Structure 1
């Protein structure tokens, strides 16, 4: 599920909404494909359900599903998922009834092709020690414990959503404080032995490839140097480390930082056209 190339970064606003058809989970909704492994079908997507959408089972998906509600709400088998709700449902998780009264937009991650099977699972997914049926992230407290001196200037806070006890894979919300920039407008570059994937939910974040705004997404393969980063007025992202345990490693030399860095993305062929049409956010005034 790691063969997706290097995406750094795209703004989801520039991607078209597509109608979900057979072979992908939940027909009658829409999706934007952020990244996909052509070998396994593992993918990261935005999903949009119209107001009044509903679906009855029993059914399950032949993939583990991880999702975060960006807008609206969703009901599933007695669980209410409002804005900021999170879940991790192992492959085979049974679904009997789903509906969205007001409509819903969510960010979803699948570790294999998200194919629907029109029958209930065997119950083992619901008993799994890694299942997180629902988590209200807004009710959680930010962990402001500093974990790396090289990131001190960002004032990072975290809300841990999931750490897999078997693989060490991790998902969390990341908070960067306002007026955060590396001292002297330079700093070492960071890299990891596993994939880092992120979606910017709020604020803005500037790095060597330009400024990310809400809707920005990247999929960064292992061992890719990145940074330094800064934020004028703060940023909140959902970050995943995929393929193993997250470890920070650092370059021995410094790289420059500027809030004026132009959009200079690294994109696979299917997204190459976006490099010539940078997305420009609406002016605040």
Structure 2
């Protein structure tokens, strides 16, 4: 992703702006937390005014939402503080409204915010991926050891969304009172966090209070960490989370990248040598044969239900599967 490093930032320090994009109606205001200039994907805190209504419809980007304060009515169902939504692109939500106003965290992952009025899903929407949950009441806290090596004791999580292909995750995490961890960390993925409540401290960036936010690209040093009274935050990573711990605060992102590559070489030397050899240096990644292999029961010669990731695979990749001059085209 092309979002720049933003840390620390607190949305309480800036004013709301009026949302003027088509489809969102009157009474929606936003504070931009981070923005990808290449795709338009962004993270915003959003204020909906008393009496706000949005017609049924879908977004051209997948969207994640969290109710921070107040109540949001979705299709006649009241969703309160802590309610989380994962909405695939093209999935039509019913009318949303709020009687007394509410504050939301609003995240678009693959494009700019959009709203296409519709009573039905887009034909290509992965409707089975939609889910919403009262994250405060209906999911128990679990140990924070979702990856090894793990964070120190006292950091707990609630997993909200997981992509089985990229291993990207969205989760709530909390630091219990007097939590601390004395080492420095970086990751091979971008990391994002919004403080729903409480304050944490980080050696490089100081205190991050309620409303505090960061977008941290891969290989940026961060830590040590602490929280005197505890905090609760929503966190996201855009691919597999691995904690590279160390104790040198002066290393650069380039040095951290090289260390990650060196660790890959030690762990998987044959894979590393193959991947970086001149004849196998694929800028867009090598081909996964399971993504393109022929399937029995194909529709028009292709099976568009790839089962390995547990979700529908839409077969159009922007190219045709035929040779020039062939009579067989689709």
TM range (shorter): 0.7 to 0.9
Q: Which residue of 1 aligns with 2:62?
A: 64
Q: How does 1:1-285 map to 2 (within 5 A)?
A: 2-23=1-22, 25-57=24-56, 59-111=57-109, 112-119=111-118, 120-122=120-122, 124-125=124-125, 127-128=127-128, 130-132=129-131, 134-139=132-137, 140-144=139-143, 146=145, 151-152=151-152, 155-182=154-181, 187-207=182-202, 208-242=204-238, 244-251=239-246, 253-255=247-249
Counterpart secondary structure, 1:173: strand
Separation in 2 of the partners of 1:195 and 1:3?
Answer: 10
Q: Which fold has the larger relative contact order, with Cα–Cα distance below 8 Å and residues 6 or more apart in sequence?
A: 1
Q: Once superposed, which parts of structure 1, at least 4 consecutive aligned residues long, lie more than 4 Å away?
A: 23-27, 145-150
For the Cα contact (< 8 Å) 2:195–2:210, is it kept in 1? yes
CA 1:81 to 1:125, structure 2 compared with 1: closer, same or farther past 3 Å? Answer: farther
Counterpart secondary structure, 1:13: helix
| Alpha-carbon shift at residue 222 of structure 1 (Å) | 0.6
The superposition leaves residues 161-188 of structure 1 with CA deviations (integer Å, 9 ceiling, x where unpaired) of: 1111222110111111111234xxxx32
TM-score, normalised with respect to structure 2: 0.70
| Alpha-carbon shift at residue 205 of structure 1 (Å) | 0.3
| Alpha-carbon shift at residue 235 of structure 1 (Å) | 1.2
CA 1:62 to 1:71, structure 2 compared with 1: closer, same or farther past 3 Å? Answer: same
Structure 1: state its 5+ residue gaps: 257-285
TM-score, normalised with respect to structure 1: 0.80
Q: CA RMSD in A?
A: 2.0
CA 1:38 to 1:24, structure 2 compared with 1: closer, same or farther past 3 Å? Answer: farther
> How many pairs were matched up?
245
| Alpha-carbon shift at residue 19 of structure 1 (Å) | 0.6
Structure 2: state its 5+ residue gaps: 251-330
